[in-house]
Amino acid sequence: MSKALAKLHTIKSKITSISGRTFPYYFIIAAGLAAFYNIWFVILLIFLIIKFKKQINIKLLVFFITIILFSFSISLIKQNIKPKNEITGTIIDKRTKFNQYTIKSGINNYLIKTKEELEIGDVVVVKGKFEKPITKTTPYGFDLRKYSLTKNIVFQSNNPSVEVVDKNYFYYPKKIFINYFDIFPEQTKTYLEALFLGVNNFSEDMLKASRSLQISYLLGLSGMLIYAVINILKKLFYYLDIKSSNQSIIIFFILLSWLLIVGSNMVILRVLLLTTITSISKHFNLKVTRLDSIFYTFLLIILINFNSVYQIGFTLSFIIITVMALGIDLFKSKYKIINNYLRYWYGYLFIFPLLIVIQNE
């Protein structure tokens, strides 16, 4: 018991020792990942290493890089495990308007396109030819392969033979919510599914229009919605006189349940990790700053699923929360609403150039 406590004390000391000083690692690793996709970011990477060389511990940097390389290796292995012409798995998501179903089989997800009527939780045997989604064929074209990887989909099959052989009740909570939304008109149902379950059943015209107007974040499960729910819960807990430590535990299990119902959703996972790290730091007095929490969350998401780096939402969310964390002390008006308004425009000005690039692509 004493050895375990001593070990925990050592871990606490190491975390505390780097608290408030992780931002150089964060920026260097982010630049390294960017260089992986665009060679010009190597210049930024070299600049950051030179700039922060006196502030970084090489062993610690190597440790963080090793974690990322490990996750990247797992991702590559998964992408190259091509299935035979038959798989058995569970339906975990569906887009009925497009006759598309996502199947969880082993460590991978597969997309099938079929006119068969299937339900979430159905265990199916699929027979057919599986191929990788096509990559972009023009310089600024849509890259279906990378988009599929963000959902952990490595292979897809068109019009395969599908046979339902069993039911997997683990996915039934999601099915219950979807069936409940059936009582609403079609357009309302589509929006509710997207907002609370991350299910995208919008028409292509609607999706194109939302991207053109740069309001696509309003058509899905967003951090804004999750934090709004958390704030409402905290207000409720305050009036119910629930202790702060108990509030954190309740919110943790609510977010965890939401994540399990929705599936591997990066937005919920990010909020869950951020709030959990913050709560643990407060409880054990680890002195973890907001930027530290962002960095650890960034690292953990990459470790859990390296393919998250292909997702535009992943990039945008971390740029926004990093910029907001860096600039939180710039606005110190005595009126909170003015501070929030100025911070919003401050963050938007930083993200606007990136939005233009994304829009052009």
Q: Are residues 66 and 93 located together in one domain of the fold? A: no
Q: Are residues 104 and 69 located together in one domain of the fold? A: no
Give pLDDT, residue 302: 86
Between 124-128, 327-331, 337-341, the lowest mean confidence (pLDDT) is in 327-331
How many domains does the chain fold into? 3
Q: Are residues 61 and 94 located together in one domain of the fold? A: no
Range 283-294 average pLDDT: 82
Between 182-191, 280-289, 306-315, the lowest mean confidence (pLDDT) is in 306-315
The verdict on residue 131 lying in a domain is yes
Task: Find which of 87-101, 246-260, 328-342 is predicted with most confidence, using mean pLDDT.
Answer: 246-260
The verdict on residue 179 lying in a domain is no
Q: What is the DSSP string of 318-357?
A: HHHHHHHHHTTTS---S-HHHHHHHHHHHHHHHHHHHHHH
Ramachandran area for residue 263 (φ above 0: left; ψ -120 to 50: alpha; else beta): left
Q: Are residues 90 and 66 located together in one domain of the fold? A: no
Top pLDDT among 120 and 1 is at 120
**End-to-end Cα, the chain, rounded Å:** 57
Residues 116-167: pLDDT tens digits? Answer: 888 888 999 999 888 888 776 565 556 777 778 777 888 898 988 888 899 9
Domain span at residue 54 reads 2-79
| The domain boundary residue, chosen from 49, 64, 79 | 79
The Cα-based distances of 226 to 31, 46, 195, 274 in angstroms read 28, 37, 10, 12
| The domain boundary residue, chosen from 169, 202, 232 | 169
Range 322-351 average pLDDT: 62
Strand, helix or coil for residue 86? strand
The verdict on residue 278 lying in a domain is yes
Checking if the pLDDT of 6 tops 70, the result is no
Range 217-224 average pLDDT: 69
Task: Provide the mean pLDDT of the chain.
Answer: 78
The verdict on residue 6 lying in a domain is yes
| The domain boundary residue, chosen from 28, 57, 79 | 79
**252 pLDDT tier (thresholds 50, 70, 90):** very high
| % pLDDT > 70, the chain | 71
Checking if the pLDDT of 266 tops 90, the result is no
Looking at residue 211, its amino acid is R
CATH of the domain at 142: 2.40.50
Checking if the pLDDT of 102 tops 60, the result is yes
Among candidate residues 143, 53, 17, 67, the one with its CA nearest the CA of residue 302: 67
Give pLDDT, residue 213: 47
The verdict on residue 346 lying in a domain is yes
Residues 42-52: pLDDT tens digits? Answer: 777 787 788 78
Task: Find which of 5-9, 62-66, 97-101, 204-208 is predicted with most confidence, using mean pLDDT.
Answer: 62-66
Checking if the pLDDT of 321 tops 80, the result is no
The verdict on residue 267 lying in a domain is yes
Between 28-37, 80-89, 110-119, the lowest mean confidence (pLDDT) is in 28-37
Q: Are residues 347 and 223 located together in one domain of the fold? A: yes
Range 307-317 average pLDDT: 73
Checking if the pLDDT of 238 tops 70, the result is yes
Q: Are residues 60 and 108 located together in one domain of the fold? A: no
Give pLDDT, residue 276: 92
Q: Are residues 147 and 245 located together in one domain of the fold? A: no
**Assigned token pair, 48:** 């950051």
Q: Are residues 237 and 221 located together in one domain of the fold? A: yes
The verdict on residue 355 lying in a domain is yes
Q: Are residues 120 and 141 located together in one domain of the fold? A: yes
The verdict on residue 195 lying in a domain is no
Q: Are residues 223 and 355 located together in one domain of the fold? A: yes
Q: Are residues 235 and 320 located together in one domain of the fold? A: yes
Range 224-248 average pLDDT: 89
Q: Are residues 279 and 161 located together in one domain of the fold? A: no
Burial status of residue 215 (CB atoms within 10 A of its CB: 0-12, 13-18, 19 or more): exposed
Give pLDDT, residue 37: 64
